[in-house]
Amino acid sequence: MRVAVLRGPKDLVVEERPAPRPGRGEVLVRVHAVGVCGSDTHYYDHGRLGRFVVEQPLVLGHEASGVVVEVGEGVPATRVGERVSIEPGVPDLTCAQ
């Protein structure tokens, strides 16, 4: 799969990387569209946003949508083919929100 990798300020390359495999409770999404977030532009222009500093290659493009193409253990196979959008935050799974 192709990914946009920021190696440093104004140093963006497109690389081929192996497709990931979904783990337990995960799905693999074939991305059809991805947005450019304001944080991506800060990382590109300055190599940082606030206290977060890009210290190693960073794959950009965290606002994406696509189709579920594979499911991991514990995920119903009926999820394959679903259109989804991706919220890149990591939930704590301890509250109703």
Quick: pLDDT tens for 42-52. 999 999 999 99
Residue 29 to residue 72: CA distance in whole angstroms: 12
* 7-43: pLDDT as tens digits: 999 999 999 999 999 999 999 999 999 988 888 999 9
How far does the chain reach from its first CA to its final CA, in angstroms?
33
The pTM of the full predicted model, rounded to 2 decimals, is 0.77
**Residue 41 DSSP symbol:** H
Q: How buried is residue 34: exposed, middle or buried, by Cβ count under 10 Å (0-12/13-18/19+)?
A: middle
Q: Which residue has the tokens 């679903």?
A: 82
Domains of the chain from N-terminus onward: 2-85 (3.90.180.10)
